[in-house]
Amino acid sequence: MKPHFHLVPRNTEYPYLCRQHTLPNFGSVWHYHPELELHYIIRGEGVRFVGDNISNFEEGELLFLGAGLPHMWRCSDKYFAGDPQVTAEAIVVQFLSDFMGKEFMMKKESAALHRLFDRARYGFVIHGATKRKVLALMKQSVGVEGFDRLVLIMNMVHALVSSKEMTQIASGVAVDNINMQEINRINSIYSYMLNHYKEDISLQEIASVAHLTVTSFCRYFKTMTKKSFTDFLVEIRISHAKRMLIEGGSYTTESICYECGFNNRSNFFRHFRKLVGCTPVEYRQRYLSLEEIM
C-alpha cells in the first residue's frame, strides 16, 4: 500500500522530535515517514491501522513503529461530536535510524540497533517494565532539548534493544515509493469505509469512490491490502463491536450487531468468533473479569 508521505516538522538541526499534543481526534490520514516512532496514548480510544493490522486502541497504549510503516488512528464517534472537552492526547517521539550519527551506525556495536530497527518495520506494542521505563523517558524528553533529549532517546532505544516485552503488530512491509494518485485513492477508500461502515457498502459504491470498475477495484484492493474488501470491512466492523462491548452494559449484543453494520445476529456472531476466537458475550465477560482483578 502506498499511503500519504508525512514530512515530520522537526528542527533540521536535530534528527529527532519529541512532543505532546492534544487534538479533537488523531489524524485520520493513512501515512508513513522515514522516522521511527514511539507513540503513547494519554487519552483517546478508537481503531488503529498499522500496516495490515486493524485493532482497537485506548489510553495507556505504547507503540513502537518502524521507518516507512504505514499507520493511522481513528478515534471513536464521540470525538467527532464537537464537544471541546472530548479530546485525544498523545506523546510522540520520532527519530531517524542514524540519529546518533551515520559513522556510529557503521560500527559493530550498532548491530543490535540495526536488528531492532529492522524488526520495528512490523510495529510493536510495548508492555511491562519496558513500557514503564520507556514512558518515563518519553515524558522527560518533552521538557528538554539538545544533548539532554538525545541522551533520553538513546536510553529509550537501549531499553528496547534487549526487551522481550514487545508484541508484533503487523505482517506487512514498509513503503518505499511515493505516488500521489495512489495516496489520494487509498485515503479516499479508507475515509469512506470509516465513515460508512455501519451501512451496507456495495462493491459498486466503493469502486466508484476509487474511480475504478468493480473488477479493477477488487484486484487493486487485494493487491494493496492483501485482503478482500469484504474481509477488510468486516475487520473494521468487528473492531468497533469490540469497543462497544467494553464501553458499558447499555449495549446489547443485538444492538451492537446492527450498529456496526451487520445484517443479522448469526452473521455477526460467526465473524466475531472467527476473528476474536470467542463469542461477543464471552469477550465482554473476559473484559469485566479483568476489570475486577485490576
Closest CA relative to residue 1, chosen from 55, 68, 48, 64: 68
The pLDDT value given to residue 177: 55
The residue to which cell 508513513 is assigned: 32
Q: Are 70 and 1 in contact (CB under 8 A)?
A: yes
259 vs 281: CA distance, rounded Å = 16
Closest CA relative to residue 37, chosen from 6, 9, 66: 66
State the alpha helices, DSSP H only, in 21-145.
102-105, 111-119, 128-142
Predicted confidence (pLDDT) per residue in 104-147, tens digit: 888 888 899 999 999 999 999 999 999 999 999 999 998 888 88
The stretches in the chain having pLDDT less than 50 are 1-13, 178, 293-294
Hey, what CATH topology would domain 4-168 get? Jelly Rolls (2.60.120)
The pLDDT value given to residue 128: 97
Task: Kindly give, in sequence order, each residue whose CB lies less than 8 Å from that of residue 82, ignoring residues fewer than 6 positions away.
Answer: none
* b (16+ CB within 10 A) / e for 168-188: ebbebebbeeeeeebbebbbe
Instruction: Look at residue 152 and give its three-state secondary structure.
Output: helix
Matching CATH number, 180-293, of 3.90.380.10, 3.30.559.10, 1.10.10.1200, 1.10.10.60: 1.10.10.60
The residue to which cell 494518485 is assigned: 181
Domain ranges (residues) in the chain: 4-168, 180-293
Q: Are 138 and 91 in contact (CB under 8 A)?
A: yes
Task: Kindly give, in sequence order, each residue whose CB lies less than 8 Å from that of residue 176, ignoring residues fewer than 6 positions away.
Answer: 68
The pLDDT value given to residue 133: 98
The pLDDT value given to residue 7: 41
State the alpha helices, DSSP H only, in 143-227.
146-161, 180-196, 203-209, 214-225
The residue to which cell 515524558 is assigned: 139
Instruction: Look at residue 87 and give its three-state secondary structure.
Output: coil
Q: Are 283 and 251 in contact (CB under 8 A)?
A: no
